[in-house]
Structure 1
Amino acid sequence: MKCLQEQALYTRNNETETLIVGLYVDDLIVTGTSVEGIKEFKQQRMEEFEMIDLGLLMYYLGIEVDQKKDCIMLKQSTYAKKLLQQFKMVECNSTKYPMEEKLQLGKDAEGNLVNYTEYRRVIGSLRYLTHIRPNLSNVVGIMNRYMEKPTMMHHQAIKHILCYVKGTNSYGLKYQRGRGPEELAVFTDSDLARDIDDRKNTAGMAFYLNENLISWQSQK
């Protein structure tokens, strides 16, 4: 059955097991509640199509997957290193903070303009990192507001984010195997009309299933 919320996701359920298949072009990610059910599905597909079973997932669309007995780690270290090389920031000084604490950005109508094409390329690359780097969601969202007329002030803030990417390149998401009852926790926050152009809020949300971060959002 095709998932209504995610067009590239398919599920199959019966009384005893669930099978989940993620599809991207001609690549499949298969998981589920039964190892035998997964093996049976793969065997059926291999009999019908010319396919190769690559075993446990290790790397997919720039995301590194480290599967251990009790947990799974997701990282984008290799992608982040290529990003730093692409924008000539490999030798930059790393930082532990994605943006200066008291920095207030605006449209900066009188500032010196920078190359907006290059600025948009950096934003697009950083946005891909937010797939498993929720700590970048807020700052990348802020910088995304100034793609039309970026100035040196915005350019410096972007470079600061890249320095943060270098300093936190080992960061990722860790999903631990559940041992007890499932507990869903939600955390929310708002910057209370900090946008100096229109005084609108930026709100953030994080959803945890036990200790595992499963969904997040940062939205103006």
Structure 2
Amino acid sequence: MIEGLGPTEWAAIRLSLLVATVATICALPFALAVAYILARKSFPGRQLLNGLVHLPLVLPPVVTGYLLLVVFGNQGSIGAFLLNTFGITLAFRWTGAALAAAIMAFPLMVRAIRLGIEAVPDGLEEAAKTLGASRSRVFTSVLLPLIAPGILAGAVLGFAKALGEFGATITFVAAIPGQTQTIPSAIYGLLQVPGQEPAIVGLVVVSIVLAMGALLVSEWLAHRMARKVGR
């Protein structure tokens, strides 16, 4: 046990891991599809799509959180539909935190996967097509194995980003202890209370360990991908 961490802090750590995991799993298939389109397709509006994908990286996170609240809040266009049709509420719920984290992590996932796809020569896919392989067969048996490390690297980077997301999350779901309070929002809350330095230091240590672990795994996967493609 890390000194200074109580039940509330450990609940924030567990919730952060849950939110980051769900966000990564849900965003990964969409990131793969968008990365493939941007890397292999040419069409009008391609640069616009690329700009929209990377918009969360340049927008203030609070703006992203506000837009999520407008769209997915209980009175929002999509939020009201989900609430009235399926009884699903995202605002001020941990699922909303996962949505916010997924959107903020999405650009990093797309970029890592796209770089992996662009590192694979087009000739390999064309050769498979000339041998009679279908488009889906080429993707699953030729391209996918080669870019697997890139996909994993994107997932790890997305997980790390989702784990540390603060601005969009606190705007969209607030920081309710045990429900929507993640590690960053817990640290922010503790900073407002005098004498909470041990708990703050404990959460900071956990954050650094998790982030560093994710970065090291991502780098290892990137080097592995480079060696695999270079063969």
Is TM (by shorter chain) over 0.5?
no
* Structure-1-length-normalised TM-score: 0.24
Q: Answer 1 or 2: which has greater helix percent.
A: 2
TM score, norm. by length of structure 2 = 0.23
Q: Which has the larger radius of gyration?
A: 1
